A and B are shown apart, each in its own frame.
Chain A
């Protein structure tokens, strides 16, 4: 995928691309609350897939389940030729070397400098010399557009810099899959565009499969090759254009809510999980 000058994306057809992550009949409950109720979807290799849905709809939980941070009640998740839900602790730890994750809040270790944070995976999993580590980290800093941050602590970074540092750390071991949890949250519109371009550029440069959760419709439409829409514990998948023109009322109301058009009360409460006024009073 590439971005044109006016910011619109030139999307590739995702139908012919083999699945890198394949989710089959996923079920998960937190107490009485159903998060996934037979969710099935596939994420094509080397593409950017954006996961959309209402708050509390299970977007972050889906990423965590793929990363073996959350065990589902039922269902299979295939990453390449490996089924990951039945992995033991040590197997899961090995498997995670194939995945990078950019957390919503960055999740950088606040007792380490930015340099130490990004170099930590190299120190733990490679036999690189100190010079090689320095060179690799500096290269990664350049790739994400970070300068003069080596000795700063995470608490001294701005929101945009924190996201860049998190992306640098997630990509340092050159993973096959990059999971991005709300990469645009808390950023101003300019910073959103910068991070957006950075993620697309990373995808183009490395061919990494990107799974991203977002509430940001503009970015989704510009970046995504495929959209997975989580609704009622299930997933509606499709190329971005297909989702944009969907006639499903739940998707329509979500898309309309992100624009400037007014919403009817019917649309507002559809699948939101919030009680309507008359229900509250009754």
Chain B
């Protein structure tokens, strides 16, 4: 009885380490594909469109809504200390340092990361990746690398858009609905945000999340079982793993570098 539990635990540990090794190897191959010719510019542009442009609406609406909520909550809290004039700083710093990169990563994971895993998984199931191999075309180079690169490129841009919409949402609630002076809202923003610290930290986080989501979604699709259940598992796995890792890595970056 005890022995069987130990055996199961050992088996799972070995399987986990094996998967980690597979993922590391895949990441290495992906990196190699990104720096070796031919450069697939056309495919990269297509993927930037699919991941970036098609996510604009969801990112703008979510950013605006989050900014409005921050405006309301921030006003309620700051009023207790008689510091409601600091609403601009509160909304701006919260969005730039934390919520912008993290929520954008979670939104993009749900919309584009899952789609990438499903698309590559379906290509595995219908032998399209093997078809590429038989044409002497490396599927990692042709399919996975442009998607991962597009994810890394678009994540900071979408995050910036999320932040701008959020600040706009906070402005609407704070200035238009709650009567805060527009000058103090904008001045608070301008005075409290440091480019080298806050903005660069935000961009760094977005880039790291882009790498994370890009690699996980392509890897899960690439290694999915060649059937409908495999595609489904790859999609779900991408959303769960990428979301949880985004939050954990966010803590690690904040704790280590204070951004």
Contacts and interface: CB of A to CB of B under 8 A. Distances in A.
A99 interface: yes
Contact of B131 (A94, A97, A109, A173): A109
A125 interface: yes
B128 A93 contact: no
A121 B131 contact: no
A121 B130 contact: no
Interface string A32-49: 000000000000000000
A253 B127 CA distance: 32
B128 A96 contact: no
A103 B136 contact: no
A96 B131 contact: no
Interface in A78-116: 93-94, 96-97, 99-101, 103-105, 107-110
Interface string B134-171: 11111000000000000000000000000000000000
A103 B137 contact: no
A96 B128 CA distance: 15
Nearest to A166: B131
A120 interface: yes
A161 interface: no
Nearest to A90: B138
A110 B128 contact: yes
Interface in B115-137: 123, 126-128, 130-137
A173 B137 CA distance: 13
Contacts of A110: 126, 128
Contacts, number: 55
A93 B134 contact: no
A100 B134 contact: yes
Among B126, B130, B131, B135, the one with the most A-chain Cβ atoms within 10 Å of its Cβ is B135
B226 to A, nearest CB: 11
Nearest to A122: B135
A97 B136 contact: yes
Contacts of A99: 134
Nearest to A117: B131
B136 A107 contact: no
A212 to B, nearest CB: 15
A27 interface: no
B134 A96 contact: yes
Nearest to A69: B130
B131 A67 contact: no
Interface in B89-118: none
A69 B131 CA distance: 10
Interface string A168-180: 0110010000000
B135 A124 contact: yes
A124 B139 CA distance: 13
Contact of A105 (B126, B133, B134, B137): B126
Contact of B133 (A69, A108, A120, A124): A69
B39 to A, nearest CB: 13
Interface in A253-282: none
Interface in A112-150: 120-121, 124-125
A101 B134 contact: yes
A119 B135 CA distance: 11
B136 A105 contact: no
A120 B130 contact: no
A124 B130 CA distance: 16
Contacts of B136: 93-94, 96-97, 121, 124-125
A103 B127 contact: yes
Contacts of A69: 130, 133-134
Given A67-B133, A120-B137, 19 more contacts: A69-B133, A69-B134, A93-B133, A96-B134, A96-B136, A101-B130, A101-B134, A103-B127, A103-B134, A105-B126, A105-B127, A107-B126, A107-B130, A109-B123, A110-B126, A121-B135, A124-B136, A169-B131, A170-B134
19 contacts: A67-B133, A69-B130, A96-B133, A96-B135, A96-B136, A103-B134, A104-B127, A105-B127, A107-B126, A107-B130, A107-B134, A109-B128, A109-B131, A110-B126, A120-B135, A121-B136, A124-B135, A124-B136, A170-B134
